[in-house]
Structure 1
Amino acid sequence: MGFRRIRARHALVGVVALTAAATTACSSDDRAPAEDLPAAPALVDEAAEAARGIDSAHVTLDVEGSLPGVPVRSIEGDLTGEGEAVGTGTLEQAGQLVEVEFVLTADTLYLKGPTGQHQEIPAAFASSVYDPSAILDPEGGIAGLLTDLRRPRTLAAEEVSGTPAYKLGGTLPPETLSGLLPGVDSGADVTFWVRSDDSRMPVRASAEFDGGATVDITLSGVNEPVTVEAPA
């Protein structure tokens, strides 16, 4: 998942992320007939190219159900394509849910639990944590998921929070999914929603695993200014 600026992967202990979603997809009652829908291969290529051009976004990620090896339960924050991020997350530790604030700058991850101050984690120790900005990685983030989508098909024309979109379905192998969710050891059925206008920008992704666990990622505020500053 090479970033524009190569960073340590997996920066944010169980906080995310990748990436789900405070914003949910709302299906339109008026679905376009199948013959009016664009072909899936071209739509996937266009959406992947659009995703590689994302410089910043507000991202939410939600995990529902039990997903072995993945302690992340939710994340919400502002991310940049340069590998910086600021936001909040929830993770499960020893059967308990813990809320965390995070700030990820060029060289340091700052974490703050329910009490106390931010703790600094140097990049050298980032192998034990997860990096939410991986979601915008032009190779292995949302763009990478689209590129690796197997058996793609265009399912419907729907709306996501009022945004007209095409709904795409397919499957992804574990080696692709583990880039965003370290610890995942199985593939999943995956659904993407991409804008139906010329931008073809992805707005939501949802993965369903064996056993019923789901992971939802929603993008909004794409390419709007994001400022990330180290806490005082």
Structure 2
Amino acid sequence: MSRRILVVTAAVLTLVAGCTSSPEAPESEPPGASLVRDASAALRDVTSVRFDLRTQGALPGFPIRSIEGVATRSGWSTGEVDMQLPTERVQYEYELGHREGASSSGGSATSAVPEGSSAEAARDTTVTLTDSDDVMTTSVVPERFTPANLLAGDGGLHDLLGDATELSTESREDIGDVPTYRVSGTLPQADISELLPGVPDDVAVKFWVTDNPERTLLRVWLQVPPRKQNEGATMIELGLSEHNQPIEVSSSAPAPSS
């Protein structure tokens, strides 16, 4: 009898020891569709953002190699742009729309970006370009690329997130020191062509969404397939930061002449 008790006791102790020494199962990652849906909803509250867009490869009708700056949903944006034209590569400082509170001569050394603006400013598609010699020219930006459209609650980035299919959470990844989830997916050709006309096929996409209740979108990566077999794919990466933070910019550049 005593031997049987010892055997049973040993078996119980072994079972308990095995249970307590097993590592805790890792917490499951949120589904990609849920992360992207939450990030899309969060974009509705974004009124200003700092951005950095870079491309690798050629895309018809999209000469931008890189552009970085700040933008507001009211339609104003300023920063620097690097473009590849048919015969040359050029760099400019740019300003799109009118910043409220600045005088016609450029305003003070720094001016805070207002939270709101008029409907007329939001529809402004004229961009002022200033080269390294302070020579100023103007051009027209397609409306689909204006801040008012890209940050709209029912267009631009919001639609890009909403159009993505086959969403899957790949892993956790830090952007700077901010923990995020990386989500992969596909953008159907018919949908992405509304933003980038001429895209020949579906586009691979990745989104980086913060690992916190805010579910803030911090990065978007696109791989546009080549139009011809002997061409390479085009990569587009957009980084977003300082969402809804007060923005101050230098405004020392001269105003364009009328």
With the shorter chain as reference, the TM-score category is 0.7 to 0.9
Q: Give the C-alpha shift of residue 57 in structure 1.
A: 0.5
Which residue of 208, 223, 229 maps to 1:208?
223
> What is the aligned partner in structure 2 of residue 62 from structure 1?
54
Which residue of 186, 190, 204 maps to 1:189?
204
Output the amino acid matched with 1:111: L
Structure 2 length-normalised TM: 0.68
Count how many residue pairs are aligned between Structure 1 and Structure 2. Answer: 197
The question of 1:143 aligning with 2:158 is answered yes
Q: Which has the higher contact order (CA 8 A, sep 6+)?
A: 1
- Larger helix share, 1 or 2: 2
> What is the aligned partner in structure 2 of residue 41 from structure 1?
33
Which segments of 5 or more consecutive residues in structure 2 lack a partner in the other structure?
1-24, 98-120, 226-231
> Alpha-carbon deviations, 1:36-73, whole Å to 9, x = none?
10012221110100112111000000001222332111
Distance 1:222 1:46 in 2: 16
> What is the aligned partner in structure 1 of residue 42 from structure 2?
50
Which residue of 156, 160, 167 maps to 1:152?
167
Distance 2:37 2:71 in 1: 23
**Cα pair 1:98 1:114 within 8 Å, conserved:** no
Larger radius of gyration: 2
Moved more, 205-214 or 160-169: 205-214
Output the amino acid matched with 2:240: L
Distance 1:51 1:127 in 2: 22
Q: Give the C-alpha shift of residue 147 in structure 1.
A: 0.7
Structure 1 length-normalised TM: 0.75
What percent identity do the matched residue pairs reach? 33
Distance 1:183 1:59, change over 3 A: farther
**Cα pair 1:63 1:214 within 8 Å, conserved:** yes
Moved more, 187-196 or 134-143: 134-143
> What is the aligned partner in structure 1 of residue 92 from structure 2?
100
Distance 1:177 1:133 in 2: 18
Distance 1:149 1:35, change over 3 A: farther
Distance 2:145 2:51 in 1: 15
Distance 1:68 1:215 in 2: 13
**Cα pair 1:153 1:169 within 8 Å, conserved:** yes
Q: Give the C-alpha shift of residue 173 in structure 1.
A: 2.3
Q: Give the C-alpha shift of residue 183 in structure 1.
A: 4.8
Distance 2:128 2:165 in 1: 37
Output the amino acid matched with 2:78: V
Moved more, 88-97 or 106-115: 106-115
Please give the secondary structure, in 2, of the residue aligned with 1:38.
coil
Which residue of 41, 46, 67 maps to 1:75?
67
Which residue of 186, 189, 210 maps to 1:171?
186
**Cα pair 1:135 1:180 within 8 Å, conserved:** no
> What is the aligned partner in structure 2 of residue 15 from structure 1?
none
Distance 2:154 2:135 in 1: 34
**Cα pair 1:130 1:182 within 8 Å, conserved:** no
Distance 1:151 1:115 in 2: 48
Which segments of 5 or more consecutive residues in structure 1 lack a partner in the other structure?
1-32
RMSD after superposition: 2.6
Q: Give the C-alpha shift of residue 195 in structure 1.
A: 0.3
